[in-house]
Amino acid sequence: MKKKTIKKINNKADGLLVEWLKDIVDEDDKDKITKENYKSLLPKEKYILVKRTRYLSFYTHRWAKQNIKKLLRKGARLEDITLGDLVWILKKRNRQNTLSNIL
């Protein structure tokens, strides 16, 4: 990918993660979250272990970037990607894992 595109993806990931953090905190703390300090509030663990398989932890900067790239490959425009799209990918993945466990 081009450097310009990567910078735009990083900025989009920052914005979406800040938006997510503001959604889960109290009204009083929303104004304290900025793009400069949000990384200290994200989960510290980068990976989770499920049935002896390591997965990238949800709602980390790297996870957001990877899922934004997946959406771009499927034809979405960077400006149109929202937090709801990332949540949709997460729910889709969970449904697939549930179905594979049943079969």
Contact (Cβ atoms closer than 8 angstroms) between residue 61 and residue 13 = yes
Q: pLDDT at residue 100 above 60?
A: no
pLDDT tens string 31-81? 888 888 888 888 788 888 888 888 877 888 899 999 999 999 999 899 999
Give the per-residue pLDDT at 12. 93
**Domains: count for the chain:** 1
What does the alpha-carbon distance between residue 47 and residue 60 come to, in Å, rounded to a whole number?
Answer: 10
Q: Which residues contact 46 (CB under 8 A, 6 or more apart)?
A: 56, 57, 60, 62
Question: Has this prediction a pTM greater than 0.85?
Answer: no
pLDDT band at 103 (very low <50, low <70, confident <90, very high): very low
Residue pLDDT, tens place only, 15-29: 999 888 888 888 888
Write out the residue range of the structural domain in which residue 24 sits: 3-102
Position 99 scores a pLDDT of 42
Distance of CA 18 to the CA centre of its chain: 10
